[in-house]
A and B are shown apart, each in its own frame.
Chain A
Amino acid sequence: MSLTASPEQTPTGPPESDSGSPARRSARLGDRIFAGAALGAGLLIMVVLAGVFIFLLIQGVPGLSVDPSTYGQGFDNFWSYVAPLLFGTIFISILALIVAVPFALAVALFISHYAPRRLATPVAYVIDLLAAVPSVVYGLWGGRALAQALKPVINWLGDYLNWIPLFKGPASPNGQTALTAALVLGVMILPIITAISREVFAQTPRLNEEAAIGLGATRWEVIRLAVLPYAKSGVIAGIMLGLGRALGETMAVTMVYSSSPKFTLNIIGDTSPQTIAANIANNYSEATPDKQHVLIAAGLVLFAFTFAVNFIARWAIGRGERNLAR
């Protein structure tokens, strides 16, 4: 623990005299170069992020106060325009998480704790491969193949489960619905959540697992007692990365359905809630300069929201770790 660190170990004193052997001095030079490179990389990330933020701010702020007619029918100011878009973004992303998280955790546990090694490696590889498929391809697949395949499911949901607001219907005839987009997004964020969860599951200290095994825990009980508590913060980090990807994903949503900003919980209907990213992609190329500012301002909202989500996630993880260390 850090309490035991003796004062001699803290590098506050002056460096030892530089009259060491040449080899020693060159090792120190290497240290310095590496430290400089690492610092530079870290700063560069900050600069890029700040650059994006400043661009969004400069280009977006005029969009907050353009002529109301620019926003389109039924919107009298920027916030009434962006609110349904933000709602759509969060709604579709959460649906995607609901689809992806249980599946991703199950696959990760299968790879790390259930599958024999001969099977675990190829399965892990195939899941990683899902991340390499371009999102345009996912969009094409979702809008055509998956939408077709889902038609009977959507009709069934609309016929029998229409008392649930999500499946209120009337069912879309072409299958290109928010449900379809959420499934596509779910598949897209599956690999990242799986990969991160798998890594943290595999890093569970042997000591903790043996404690559970020694008490006569079954495999699932070992996971519940030793693996999941240990991996919790890492898994949350993985889910947040997945959520970040879902929030910003454009093509998969754009190509599955087209829509306008509106509030609706109905995920099997003809009109689905639009997301910020898809809305930008759909409208940017033919937008007037004023409308472009509006779209960039919407992008700024997405940026701020994603930032806030990550911030809250970090805080939650940190709190979990503090509780552990208490």
Chain B
Amino acid sequence: MAKSIDITDLDIYYGDFKAVEGVNMTIKAKAVTAFIGPSGCGKSTFLRSLNRMHEVIPGARVEGKVTVDGQSLYDSAIDPVEVRRRIGMVFQRPNPFPTMSIYENVLAGNRLNAKRMPKATADTIVEKSLRGANLWNEVKDRLGKPGMGLSGGQQQRLCIARAIAVEPEVLLMDEPCSALDPISTAAIEDLIHELKSDYTIVIVTHNMQQAARVSDDTGFFNLKAAGQPGHLVEFNPTKTMFTTPDNPDTEAYISGRFG
């Protein structure tokens, strides 16, 4: 079930360093939300705070609220492992498990959630997820082969299949095309369009055209100076963002005057 996310006054720290400050936004269900901004502005950190992935760095913590469907993600009763099972993630570089076949890669998340499943169920999940990731036709004859044998773009779609196999409430994508060639990028963008009918998608991208092409809402992050915390400058429907932005900094950035 796709869910919406509400973020209220979120500050993110790494130890004493404040990386992101004062973010407020609502990420709509069954829509694509993109974050753009210059390097180091905290957009990836913010994305990772949405499924508590940033906590793998020692000393990371947040202040403020993130709620998915009314449930606070940072409630002390919530297990971060549980959060990551509900909110899936696709990374900058494709990272299929190197020792696993394509088939087992798709099922990796399901195997964590439920130890035993009948072969027929597993087959159904694999086919559905690979079809969902537009990869089925390319790999259906070699499901037993290692995932590392695929091309970069196929590997990334395999990672997307792995993420959607567990039917997450939200799918986070951290620059999913930055390591891919233009053709693979186009394939992933098409896929994002299709996935949005079932999933809430949040994507970080360096590529403003990509944000314009795939997203419904866009958030622009910036930082005042190096060493200062990043902050959300503007959050608007993508169409507004790229035609009549509220903030002059946003206009400067999207028209290529800096960043």
Contact = CB atoms under 8 A, between A and B. Distances in A.
A211 interface: yes
A4 interface: no
Contacts of A216: 81-86, 109, 112-113, 166
B53 interface: yes
Interface stretch (A31-39, A164-172, A225-233, A276-284): A225-233
B149 A208 contact: no
A215 B88 contact: yes
Nearest to B99: A229
Interface residues of A, number: 23
B39 to A, nearest CB: 19
Contacts of B93: 207
Nearest to B93: A207
A213 B85 CA distance: 9
B53 A213 contact: yes
Given A207-B91, A324-B148, A326-B146, A214 B97 contact: no
Contact of B97 (A117, A208, A213, A232): A208
A159 interface: no
B244 to A, nearest CB: 37
A213 B80 CA distance: 10
Interface in A125-163: none
B98 interface: yes
A211 B95 contact: yes
A67 interface: no
B84 A208 contact: no
B176 interface: no
B96 interface: yes
B84 A211 contact: no
Contacts of A76: none
B162 interface: yes
A285 B141 CA distance: 68
B56 A211 contact: no
A217 interface: yes
Nearest to B82: A216
